[in-house]
Amino acid sequence: MGKSAQTTVSRTALYTSEERRRRDSSVWTLVQGVLAPIQFLIFIVSLFLILRYLMLGQGLAAAQVSVVVKTLALYAIMVTGSIWEKEVFGRYLFARPFFWEDVFSILVLALHTAYLASLFTNALSPLPLMLLALAAYVTYLVNAGQFLWKLRLARLDQGRSSSVAEVTMSGGCLPGSAP
């Protein structure tokens, strides 16, 4: 009986060792770690208020204000995230590991900004305005999922680099690697 072929999926690590060092020493990493869950909590409350308005016709002002607060939180996380990206990768946006997340973030920003413009200019009546907010929120959820996936990949990379260091220090080799 022959040896079964192993298929391995290889990918480039999310961070180089120098980028990881800069990420770990940056105050903006902590800022992002604090702002992201705050923004998500604001999103949950706001989503509830929007859905309440859409289903019951109640609380339009609360729903509108909640989307403004959510949008301001989004702007804060985008500005500080850009600073973080500059500090870690040397550019404010579209760094290699986060290129597609940044592309999608621009769509998220555009939809949230369109909401603000529509609200403050009375360009849309309440129903289309709340539907625009929901569209912005769907893109936000997709984008948040992208970033959570990258966080998972970063943790996997950290575990892999720790395993490589341990194996190298012990003189062994990783499964599937050459001795």
Q: pLDDT at position 15, please? A: 85
Q: What is the end-to-end Cα distance of the chain in Å, rounded?
A: 25
126, 81 Cβ separation under 8 angstroms? no
Look at the block and give the residue holding tokens 């290699």.
Answer: 96
Q: What is the DSSP string of 40-55?
A: HHHHHHHHHHHHHHHH
Instruction: Judge residue 30's burial from the number of C-beta atoms within 10 Å of its C-beta, 0-12 exposed, 13-18 middle, 19 or more buried.
Output: exposed
Q: pLDDT at position 13, please? A: 81
User: Within 13 Å and on the Cβ side, how many CA atoms surround 169?
Assistant: 6
What region, left, alpha or beta, does residue 16 occupy, with left being phi > 0 and alpha being psi -120 to 50 degrees? Answer: beta
> Between these two residues, 69 and 13, which has the higher pLDDT value?
69
- Whether the predicted pLDDT of 45 surpasses 80: yes
> Between these two residues, 173 and 91, which has the higher pLDDT value?
91
Mean pLDDT, all residues of the chain: 85
- Whether the predicted pLDDT of 8 surpasses 70: no
Mean pLDDT, to the nearest integer, of 75-81?
Answer: 96
Q: pLDDT at position 166, please? A: 39
- Whether the predicted pLDDT of 10 surpasses 90: no
135, 113 Cβ separation under 8 angstroms? no
* pTM of the complete model: 0.78
